[in-house]
Structure 1
């Protein structure tokens, strides 16, 4: 049995960022990731200005911008009749006025590579956490299995950052409150040609919605379907996907045949939920494990990163000093991050109910939008700040104690 100051379950954006921040503060930290790499397609990868600023504060901005990426300065909706600008990030306060689209595995490799420079950081891949160690009504570490067998890892603090289906959260008896989502998402990709549109956009047509992300050499496409509707779509055969693509994105009509079957698509069951309580004695829950976000606004990664920064700001010093971590300190992390979570989910539910649900009903209503949301005096400024920076952007104040190797 090994001992650690902090063990983090889950190598996603929240877990990787927290591990890096704790390692640079001198905390003995182990990050457990159940897969053998970070290479999984169709994961959230919109890096917003709030996260770009965090990378800048860490001295990682230049390394990040060397990764293959595409900048988007505006967000827009294309209807059957018009193109409607929703938010223009130019003029946003701060150094970064764009969203960077970067494959999530590149982002996670960047964070974990930076963390590996600290001798007190350890990353274990193919380590699946399946239980927690309890002692005197407190969580004191985890049980996990890897390629060499079963293990126990004791820790002063255990952090559950293992996603929306968190095994650690379940083992601790924490159950999120579910909020309805009217859609699921079918992800796939098609080749991109030089004559195609250059922007990333949301295409809305009566009965159909599709997000089109420009990946330079291909389009990453997200086709929104009614909640629980994937089996009905599958029963129609792959033409059930090809036809709406060709109809609402006619520039792709000559390429939809590249979708050979449902082996070329991936389905995401959209969830929107959050925990009432993010902590137990010795345990903190952050990121998607604490609050599963809708894909609306593409803010999931950024909220997870903000959770990690807030947690490190409050916990890194006491953990590095070896002082006890009272549950009241863990509760402070939740109090800090609950308002932005609640407000963001409220905005997502508003869009789901006012735009997405009507568009995906059996008898869809015409979508009516202002000509240019981004230029409306108050709403335009709010949309720019909300999408770019979020409700409560965090800044790094955790200490730097450990020396790189």
Structure 2
């Protein structure tokens, strides 16, 4: 069953897809976002909303409404490294009001964006609807890969359908179906670590908020979620099977050695079903686009969980793309050179951050091997340089290497409608 042509169809209702859909609908363009699940409720996803994203929400008039949700605000990020507590990042040095980090379950953030977007008549969100393939024009001999993309085939409870669009966007994650359908293959960067994610109740006396505990005993993340920690244990690549064989008591012992503060709560881990393996990847597409098609977010570049920047880089992609294509979509098709320019702009900060993450992995992997993370002299130097370091990291992590700003104006009477809606 064919449907009316849309200006844009987006596969994936994650941060990149939802933000892009909102921005385009806000600009008066007809957009459909496809989310293969029936809701956004999936745990162990990126929960960090960085100052750069708060700035974007402010530019959209959504900042205070978002902050009214039950979120956790952090002005600093502390870690315990080889027994010494260090403030690694101080967001307080940034320009107010966006001088703190927000921790919010990703499903709350996505539900928030969905509510705001669905108030716009041009926005169409299809839950429980999976993009399964691309619609392509009849290819010319020898040019199959560059045949223009005309939309997507989707599968939902109502059956198979086609949605045609001037531009198709793959925002469907690191295992992107549409990326593969477009014949685009990412280049993988070797990563020596994986992460085991799990939830733990906070101890009765948790002390100061601590992002992680890092030493020769291991690395454990303790991300504050109110009355619980979203916790993670860094392990060597492919090391999960060995841990599983050793059993849960040995796993709990390992956690306590690395993060003694968890001693009174690790008993709540009683089944391996509570523990989820995240296979850490760093990759990047050499080419993000085809005629009528582009990949963004994790579909274009999988980021490491290090620094929690993945959500924010995906959102920056969405903003840059919306800024670039709005005028052309209104007039008709988007030129591929415009899509290439978006890739060129966003690829620069992505490559730099992935390089920083790769170097960080080489330090962290020592903890999985029982080695000191930093030599004793290095630990002293780290403490002495911490005030300077935390200012630099606030800019690099909090603001980003190439922050984007909203250039897509409200269309028609949308501004008046949004003001009346409050």
Shorter-chain TM band:
over 0.9
CA offsets 1:236-289 (integer angstroms, 9 cap, x no match): 111232112222222321221111110111111100000111100000110010
Partner of 2:409 in structure 1?
399
| Aligned position for 1:120 | 122
Task: List aligned pairs for 1:97-112, cutoff 5 A.
Answer: 97-112=99-114
**Matched pairs, number:** 400
Task: Note if 1:357 corresponds to 2:365.
Answer: yes
Q: Structure 1 regions of 5+ residues with no counterpart?
A: none
2:143 maps to none
> What is the distance in 1 between the residues matched to 2:209 and 2:41?
25
Higher percent of residues as helix: 2
| TM-score, normalization by structure 2 | 0.92
What is the CA distance between 1:367 and its match in structure 2?
A: 2.6
Indicate how the Cα distance of structure 1 residues 100 and 308 shifts in structure 2: closer, same or farther if over 3 A, else same.
same
Offset, 1:225: 0.6
Q: Distance in 2 between matches of 1:69 and 1:57?
A: 20
1:367 aligns with 2:381: no
> Is residue 364–residue 373 contact of structure 2 (8 Å, CA) maintained in 1?
no
Match of 2:331 among 311, 319, 322: 322
- SS of 2:169's equivalent in the other structure is strand
Alpha-carbon distance between aligned partners in 2 of 1:380 and 1:104, rounded to the nearest angstrom: 26
Aligned partner of 1:259 in structure 2 is 269
* Mean CA deviation greater in 2-11 or 73-82: 73-82
Classify 1:366/1:129 alpha carbon distance in 2 versus 1 (closer, same or farther; 3 Å): closer
CA RMSD of aligned residues (A): 1.4
Offset at residue 148 of structure 1 (A): 1.2
Q: Counterpart of 1:203 in 2: which secondary structure?
A: strand
Native 8 Å contact 2:75 2:90 kept in 1 = yes
Contact preservation (8 Å) 2:80, 2:210: no
User: What is the distance in 2 between the residues matched to 1:357 and 1:193?
Assistant: 27
CA separation of 1:372/1:27 partners in 2, compared to 1, >3 Å: closer, same or farther?
farther
Question: Separation in 2 of the partners of 1:345 and 1:318?
Answer: 31
Aligned to 2:282: 272
- Which 4+ stretches in 1 moved above 6 angstroms? none
Alpha-carbon separation, structure 2, partners of 1:373 and 1:173: 47
3-state SS in 1 of match to 2:231: strand
Residue in structure 2 matched with residue 384 of structure 1 by the alignment: 394
Q: Does 1:161 align with 2:164?
A: no
- Cα distance in 2 for partners of 1:387, 1:301 equals 12
The residue number in structure 2 matching 1:53 is 55
So what's the TM-score if we normalise by structure 1? Answer: 0.96
SS of residue in 2 equivalent to 1:204: strand
Q: Does 1:150 align with 2:157?
A: no
Deviation at 1:366, TM superposition (A): 4.7
Distance (Å, rounded) in 1 between the aligned partners of 2:179 and 2:318: 17
TM superposition shift of 1:17: 0.2
Looking at structure 1, the residues matched to 386 and 160 of structure 2 have their Cα atoms a distance apart, in angstroms, of: 54
Among 341, 346, 349, which residue is 2:350 paired with?
Answer: 341
Shift of 1:335: 1.2
In the TM superposition, what is the alpha-carbon distance from 1:207 to its structure 2 partner?
Answer: 4.2
The answer to whether the 8 Å contact 1:86/1:373 transfers is no
**Displacement after TM superposition at 1:231 (Å):** 1.0
Give the whole-Å Cα distance in 2 for the aligned partners of 1:86 and 1:163: 29
Distance 1:349 1:324 in 2: 38
Separation in 2 of the partners of 1:187 and 1:373?
31
Q: Are the counterparts in 1 of residues 167 and 333 from structure 2 also a CA contact under 8 Å?
A: no
- Is contact 2:186-2:286 (8 Å) kept? yes
Per-residue CA distance 1:103-140 (angstroms, 9 max, x = gap) = 00010111111110111110001111110000141011
* Aligned residues of 1:316 and 1:399 also touching (Cα < 8 A): no
| CA deviation vs aligned residue, 1:155-208 (integer Å, no higher than 9, x gap) | 110000000000000000000010011111111111114411230322012141
